[in-house]
Amino acid sequence: MADATIDCLIAGAGPAGTAAGILLAEAGLRVVIVEKQDFPRFRIGESLIPAVNATLKKLGVWERMDEAGFLRKYGAEFLYGDGSQVVHNVFAKGFVPGYEYTYEVERKRFDQLLLDRAVEAGCEVRQPVAVDSAEQVDQRWRVKLSNGESIDAQWFLDASGRGGVLPRRLGMKREEFDHLPRRFAVFNHFRGVQRRPGCEAGNITIVRVPDGWFWSIPLDAERTSVGLVTARNEPGKRPPEIFADCVARNAFLRGWMADAEPLDDFQVQADYSFRQPRYAGENWFLLGDSACFLDPVFSSGVYLALSSAEHAAGLICGQARERGYLTDSEQKSYEDNLNGRVSVMNKLVSIFYDPYGFSVFMSPTNRFRLFAAVNAIVAGHTQMEFGLRWRFALFCWICRLNRRAPLAPLVELS
Ligand SMILES: Cc1cc2nc3c(=O)[nH]c(=O)nc-3n(C[C@H](O)[C@H](O)[C@H](O)COP(=O)(O)OP(=O)(O)OC[C@H]3O[C@@H](n4cnc5c(N)ncnc54)[C@H](O)[C@@H]3O)c2cc1C
């Protein structure tokens, strides 16, 4: 016998879990969110893209973002490590009109904001409590928690991040969907990192270096998140030394980080770009990172987390609510929708890592409004109307063509 019977059990209170919880609880369903860590807790993934804005409004937190002190992000700046070329993607100049800015967020505060909102919407929360196991009993999920509780739920939504509770339980084998060398990230929060002036002060800076890239994300008036994503694994060198060497080798970064002072211990995360073979079944969903993880260079993680949560909640609250299960076509629509978004962002990621593609990215032209189209994809507009679709396809084709017929100068990374 279970201790309680509910509509939806959500594993994980990251953005995917709390977003789904808010929408389901507001639709009148009984929702329990189970989070294994105590909040506030550190999480990486601090730069949002404008494609999240509509969902943040729907969740009722958009108005709270300025109040919470998050910095406004009006665009993204891309450079080579020697500072020789700079491209600025300004969201307001994108092909799709609308959101001119979004936010940089310290995740411990952003995730807490969403969790508070979930409680306000009616979710019950178990924390710090882990989902230990989940099995199907009479077309429901019987979920065992680390506090000894057993809960029966009609729907199980796994938003437990890259560790994925349900994929392990279902014996899923991850697929890698890029063929790049394995990368890892080494990062820290710093004081004293340079900023651009004016309204560019909150923008993300991405610096391309030989085996990867740096991010610099302003978090507040003082603190900046800086990280290196690299495939360079030098035996005998610890990741913070690889980070320091890479800063020292690149003229732009030497200046940018000249007065930088680390505020915490460096952290390292590996394990890049995968997707699970399935994202949904009759009465379960994988949300956000639990379903798939894409290289974070275009800051798409929270967007994919929120959009998958929104879609899953929409399906549960639709015809499936009465029926109690998803049809094959509903499961497929969920998987196709998420794969569609991932595939667009992944095209941009592949271009970024391909020196020929990146040369085109760094030599923008607004002929046929191509630069405006790329800006719109950088902002996360993955649900493309025809005008954006053909422009982005043309841009991708030019990136490929640059291998055969030099159209944009190839910059040697040093
Ligand atoms: C180096 C790096 C840089 C990144 N930069 C960005 C960026 O700039 N912008 C961006 O949008 N994204 C970025 N991302 C991606 C981003 O971190 C994730 O995509 C995002 O956090 C996914 O949200 P989520 O809710 O799916 O999972 P998470 O945020 O990982 O939340 C999962 C939650 O589940 C909990 N949990 C785990 N197991 C259990 C269990 N058994 N029971 C209960 N709870 C459990 C965890 O404690 C956690 O709180 C980056 C990622 C990396 C690695």
Residues in a beta bridge with 34: 11, 126
Average pLDDT over the chain, rounded to whole? 95
Q: How many other CB atoms sit within 10 Å of the CB of residue 3?
A: 10
> Which tokens hold the place of 291?
């379903």
Q: How confident is the model at residue 407 (pLDDT cuts 50, 70, 90)?
A: confident
CB neighbour list of residue 403: distance below 8 Å, 6 or more residues apart: 356
Domain count, the chain: 1
CATH number at residue 115: 3.50.50.60
Q: Is 43 in the pocket of ligand 1 (CB under 6 A)?
A: yes
pLDDT of 148: 97
Q: Is 13 in the pocket of ligand 1 (CB under 6 A)?
A: yes
pLDDT of 77: 97
Atom of ligand 1 nearest to the CA of 303: 11
pLDDT of 385: 94
256 located within any domain? no
168 located within any domain? yes
pLDDT of 62: 97
Q: Which helix H or strand E contains 295, and what residues bound it?
A: none
Query: What backbone torsions phi and psi does residue 293 show, to the nearest 5 degrees?
Result: -135, 125
Residues 297, 348: Cα–Cα separation, whole Å: 9
Average pLDDT over residues 54-70: 97
Q: Residue 272 above 80 pLDDT?
A: no
Atom of ligand 1 nearest to the CA of 299: 9
pLDDT of 158: 98
Q: How confident is the model at residue 234 (pLDDT cuts 50, 70, 90)?
A: confident
Instruction: Provide the angle, in degrees to the nearest 10, between the axes of the packed helices 15-26 and 301-317.
Output: 30
Q: Kindly report, residue by residue over 99-124, the tens digit of the pLDDT.
A: 899 999 999 999 999 999 999 999 99
Q: Residue 179 above 80 pLDDT?
A: no
Q: Which helix H or strand E contains 65, and what residues bound it?
A: helix 62-67
d(CA 162, ligand 1 centre) in Å: 7
Residues 193, 88: Cα–Cα separation, whole Å: 19
Q: Is 11 in the pocket of ligand 1 (CB under 6 A)?
A: yes
195 located within any domain? no
Nearest CA to ligand 1 atom 51: 45
Q: Is 21 in the pocket of ligand 1 (CB under 6 A)?
A: no
Q: Residue 232 above 90 pLDDT?
A: no
Average pLDDT over residues 350-360: 94
Q: What share of the chain is helix, strand, coil (3-state, %, to 5)?
A: 40, 25, 35
172 located within any domain? yes
81 located within any domain? no
Indicate the top mutation candidate among 18, 34, 36, 228 to test ligand 1's pocket, ranked by most ligand atoms within 8 A of CB. 36
d(CA 275, ligand 1 centre) in Å: 14
Average pLDDT over residues 56-79: 97
Q: Kindly report, residue by residue over 280-325, the tens digit of the pLDDT.
A: 999 999 999 999 999 999 999 999 999 999 999 999 999 999 999 9
pLDDT of 414: 64
Residues 11, 22: Cα–Cα separation, whole Å: 14
Average pLDDT over residues 236-260: 95
Q: Is 131 in the pocket of ligand 1 (CB under 6 A)?
A: yes
305 located within any domain? yes
Q: Is 289 in the pocket of ligand 1 (CB under 6 A)?
A: yes
d(CA 45, ligand 1 centre) in Å: 7
Comparing 29-38, 114-123, 228-237, the range with the smallest average pLDDT is 228-237
Question: In the chain, pLDDT over 70 holds for what percent of residues?
Answer: 100
pLDDT of 235: 84
Q: Residue 142 above 70 pLDDT?
A: yes
Nearest CA to ligand 1 atom 9: 299
Q: Is 269 in the pocket of ligand 1 (CB under 6 A)?
A: yes
Atom of ligand 1 nearest to the CA of 290: 26
pLDDT of 84: 86
pLDDT of 4: 84
Q: Residue 60 above 90 pLDDT?
A: yes
Q: Is 225 in the pocket of ligand 1 (CB under 6 A)?
A: no
Q: Residue 133 above 70 pLDDT?
A: yes
d(CA 203, ligand 1 centre) in Å: 21
Q: Residue 244 above 70 pLDDT?
A: yes
Nearest CA to ligand 1 atom 14: 45
Average pLDDT over residues 31-54: 97
Average pLDDT over residues 179-187: 87
pLDDT of 359: 95
Torsion of CA 294, 295, 298, 300, to 10 degrees: 30
Q: Residue 357 above 70 pLDDT?
A: yes
Query: What backbone torsions phi and psi does residue 54 show, to the nearest 5 degrees?
Result: -65, -40
Q: Which residue has the higher pLDDT, 95 or 234?
A: 95
d(CA 303, ligand 1 centre) in Å: 11
> Which tokens hold the place of 1?
């016998």
pLDDT of 177: 76
Question: In the chain, pLDDT over 90 holds for what percent of residues?
Answer: 87
pLDDT of 265: 97
Q: Kindly report, residue by residue over 212-222, the tens digit of the pLDDT.
A: 999 999 999 99
Domain residues for the domain of 44 are: 4-65+106-176+276-341
* Integer CA distances (angstroms), 155 to 69, 321, 323, 367, 403, in order: 35, 10, 12, 49, 49
d(CA 14, ligand 1 centre) in Å: 6
Q: Is 228 in the pocket of ligand 1 (CB under 6 A)?
A: no
Residues 289, 301: Cα–Cα separation, whole Å: 7
Q: Is 46 in the pocket of ligand 1 (CB under 6 A)?
A: yes
Cβ(194)–Cβ(247) below 8 Å: no
